[in-house]
Amino acid sequence: MPGLVAGVIPAKAGIQPSSIVLWGALRWDLAVWRMLPGKTGSMWQKWLTTCDSLGRMRDSDVRMALRHKLQCKHAHDRSTRIVEEMGIWSGAVRIDMAVINGQLAGFELKSDSDTLLRLPYQIEIYGKVFDRVTLVVGRKLYAEAIECIPHWWGCVLAEMKNDKVVLQPKRRARRNPGPDAHVLAQLLWKDEAVAILEKRGLAGGRRSKRAAEITDQLVENLSYRQLASHVRDALKARQKLGQLTAREFDVPIDAVANPTGRASR
C-alpha cells in the first residue's frame, strides 16, 4: 500500500475533510491505490470518490455564498424579490438565481464540479429575457468561461479560501443590448396578460383568444419599458406572498416562458 494513503484512511472514521492537510501530496498515491487488486468494492469506490472531492468547491457552496451576498445587498429594499431556480422557455431552462426589482437580473452558477456544456444555450435564452446576467464561476472554468460569455454579462470568480467560498467581482454586468419583447411577454400567465390589457382598455374579448395573440397585442401596444415593468410586477406578486420584503427570499417561483404559444399556467 502506498504509505501516504494510509494517512487519510482515518477520514473514513469521521475526520473532517478540512483536517486533512496532506491532500496535495496524496494525489499520486491515490492513483496507484486505484490500480491495486481487490479495491473495486462499493465501500472503496465510495471512499475514493470522497477523497476525490476533498477541497473541491460544490455548487451548493457557491449558491450559499451568492444567496448570502444578495440577501445582504437587498436586505432593506422592500421592492426586491430574490428567486432561485427561475424557469424560462417552457421550463426547459432554469437560471440559478434571479433578482427582481427595478430590473430583471440573472445569476448563473458554475462551480469547479460543473462543466460549460450548457452555457452557449443558456447564453442564448437568458439574453432574450434578462436585463443583466452575471456568471459566478470557479477557478477551474474561469479562463474558458470568460471567453464564452457576451460582453454585457458580468463575471464573478468563486474560490474556496479557508473552507469558505469567496466571491471576487471580475466584470460588472451591463444592460442587455437585445432582449426579445415576445419572449419576455411569455413569462406572463394568460390571466396576468389579459389583466394588463384590460387595465389599458385593450382587452376586448381577449380572454377567448390564444396566448400567442394576447402576447402579440401586448408587444404591439406597450413599449418595451412598460412591458418589462408589468412583467416584473407580475412575477413579484405571484403565490400570494403578502407584503413582499427582502426577508422573503427562499420562495420558489415558476415563471415559465412559452415559445409555442400555448397558455402556461
Among residues 142, 171, 200, the one where a domain terminates is: 171
Q: How many domains does the chain fold into? A: 2
Residues 66 and 163 in one domain: yes
249 in a structural domain: no
d(CA 53, CA 36): 21
242 compared with 36, residue with greater pLDDT: 36
pLDDT at position 31 over 60? no
Residues 34 and 69 in one domain: no
Residues 118 and 64 in one domain: yes
Q: Express each pLDDT in 56-113 by its tens digit.
A: 678 889 999 999 999 999 999 988 999 999 888 766 789 999 999 999 999 999 999 8
> For 224, how many CA atoms within 13 A lie in the half-sphere containing its CB?
14
Residues 64 and 145 in one domain: yes
Q: Express each pLDDT in 164-201 by its tens digit.
A: 999 999 999 999 999 999 999 999 988 899 999 988 88
70 in a structural domain: yes
131 in a structural domain: yes
102 compared with 13, residue with greater pLDDT: 102
Residues 31 and 74 in one domain: no
Residues 24 and 128 in one domain: no
> How far is residue 122 CA from its own chain's centroid?
10
Q: Please identify which residue in the block is written with the cell numbers 389599458.
A: 200
Among residues 121, 136, 171, the one where a domain terminates is: 171
153 in a structural domain: yes
203 in a structural domain: no
User: pTM of the entire structure?
Assistant: 0.71
41 in a structural domain: yes
Position 182 scores a pLDDT of 94
Residues 64 and 140 in one domain: yes
Q: At what angle do helices 23-34 and 42-52 cross, to 10 degrees?
A: 150
d(CA 247, CA 244): 8
Residues 161 and 115 in one domain: yes
d(CA 106, CA 133): 5
**Strand spans (E) along the chain:** 81-88, 93-100, 104-110, 132-138, 154-161, 164-171
d(CA 230, CA 200): 12
Position 201 scores a pLDDT of 84
Residues 41 and 123 in one domain: no
Q: Please state, for a pLDDT cut of 70, what percent of the chain lies above it.
A: 66
Domain range for residue 167?
Answer: 59-84+96-171
242 in a structural domain: no
User: What are the DSSP calls for 5-49, one per residue?
Assistant: GGGTGGGGGT--GGG-TTHHHHHHHHHHHHTSTT--SHHHHHHHH
Residues 64 and 123 in one domain: yes
